[in-house]
Amino acid sequence: MDKLGKSEKKKNPSPLTRVGCPARLRVNLDRSNNTWVVRDFEPQHNHDLALPHEIQFLRSNRKVKTTVGEQVMSMRRSGIRTFHIMNHLAQERGGQDYVPFQKKKRDPYNWNGRKGQETQTETDSEGALGYLECLAKRVDEFYGVYNTDNDSRLANLFWCDGMSRQDYQAFIDVLAFDTTYKTNAYNKPLLMLVGVNHHFQANMFGCALLCDEITSTFAWVLQCFLNVMNNKHPTVVVTDGDHAMREAITEVIPNAKHCLCSWHLSTHASTNCTNPAFNSTFSHLMYHFYTDEEEWEEKWRSVIEQFELQDNGWIQTQYEKKKTR
């Protein structure tokens, strides 16, 4: 019995399906007259053939053909339920046994669901772009831009409003660059560009929905951000230490000082070093103001020795990142 109270069962391997059947049909294209010519044909099988009502169980018929699928989608758009559509297809072919896919395996239901989701995604993309275009016409200084992938589908989307643009001009010193990881319906990372005003309140400078989290994508967002902010660069950029983010910052904002987010550092410290005393000391090292770098280095070495963390991989990695800021 496992932890869920279910008996452990081993799945037996499926039997081999190849039987060495010699039946074949080979054709070649005769390019001289652009016709297909049969070169080899062997009609004899070494096994029994599937009966007409057994065709639906063959692996080749588990896939819903496009013509049938489009018929299903057309009837669905007319308000006909999938169950009734299945009955209609069965009557057209002389019975349920002659439908070229399995009803019990829910083949048409799954195909219909996938196509519906693709259609909904395309509709939502068009709706989002239309909404941003409307805002750009109605709201002063609203800005939105997007790009597409190789299949002409929406890839990345960036936007900000007039208030965000004004706030950035006033509080340009620090820019926080972070992603909320795939918490929306389409599993797209949501990137937020945030700053802090003179009341220590967070200011939203811009947002972006991304197709991935690679250097070129982050560089695209940063370049869009600078374009709308009159190409004024922040003094400090704060991230969670992601390598792709770091490369994009170096490429687009080379003169900005890149700092690691203290919240992420504290969270990861508590995960990688479970000693509460170390976590408290680590926070002190981050937030205490040291005028002398050598003093901080000496304090860091003493903390590492005190908690015997010389071989801790995360500690060493963070220290190396610190030296490259």
**165 vs 122, higher pLDDT:** 165
For range 308-324, the mean pLDDT: 79
For range 5-29, the mean pLDDT: 69
For range 277-281, the mean pLDDT: 85
Most confident of 11-25, 64-78, 290-304: 290-304
Buried (b) or exposed (e) across 226-263, using 16+ Cβ within 10 A?
eebbeeeebeebbbbbbebbbebbeebbeebebebeee
pLDDT in tens, 115-156: 555 555 556 777 778 888 888 887 888 999 999 888 778 889
pLDDT band at 206 (very low <50, low <70, confident <90, very high): very high
Contact criterion met (CB below 8 Å) for 110 and 70: no
Contacts of residue 289, Cβ cutoff 8 Å, sequence gap at least 6 = none
Q: How far apart are CA 20 and CA 25, in angstroms?
A: 15
Q: Is the predicted pLDDT of residue 1 greater than 80, yes or no?
A: no
Domain ranges in the chain? 44-138, 140-260, 263-323
pLDDT in tens, 77-92: 667 776 777 777 777 7
Task: Pick the range with the lowest mean pLDDT from 38-42, 121-125, 252-256, 319-323.
Answer: 121-125
pTM of the model: 0.57
Contact criterion met (CB below 8 Å) for 249 and 223: no
CATH value of 140-260 in 3.30.420, 2.60.40, 3.30.70, 3.40.50: 3.30.420
Query: Which 8-state DSSP code applies to residue 123?
Result: H
Query: Which residue reads 């990861």 in tokens?
Result: 268
Angle at which helices 82-92 and 107-138 cross, to 10°: 130
